[in-house]
Amino acid sequence: MGLGFNGGQMIALAIGGCLCNDLRYVAHDMGIDITSLEVDTTVELEGDPLLVVLARVDVRLATSDPAADIAELMRRAEAGSTIGNSVARGFPVIVSRA
């Protein structure tokens, strides 16, 4: 019926949402005041069954301090992103009947 999210959309949401949170946490730790933040995540799907073969995250971020080190903020947030790092490194998924 077209209701809800599909698996690819859920992965994109998890990656982008986690990074968005990490950007806010790291900005706070660095003393950077974020005035606007947009995170847009897209995924590419291929194969049968469909697999995510690429995720791209575009960040639009503004701060109240023009001298803020945005590159370092982004580097730290990406390095600490639980979902981003987990997906990039891979992990086993075990499915069992409960």
Give residue 2's pLDDT band: very low, low, confident or very high (50, 70, 90): confident
Candidates 13, 4, 24, 25; CA nearest to 55 is: 13
Nearby residues of 37 by Cβ (< 8 Å), 6 or more positions away: 20, 23, 24, 59, 60, 61, 62
CATH of 7-84, one of 3.40.50.2000, 3.30.300.20, 3.40.50.720, 3.40.50.1370: 3.30.300.20
User: Model's pTM, two decimal places?
Assistant: 0.90
Average pLDDT rounded to a whole number, residues 18-45: 97
Handedness of CA 82, 35, 71, 52 (dihedral sign): positive
CA distances in angstroms from 44 to 8, 11, 51, 53, listed in the order given: 8, 11, 8, 6
**Domain spans of the chain?**
7-84
Give residue 65's pLDDT band: very low, low, confident or very high (50, 70, 90): very high
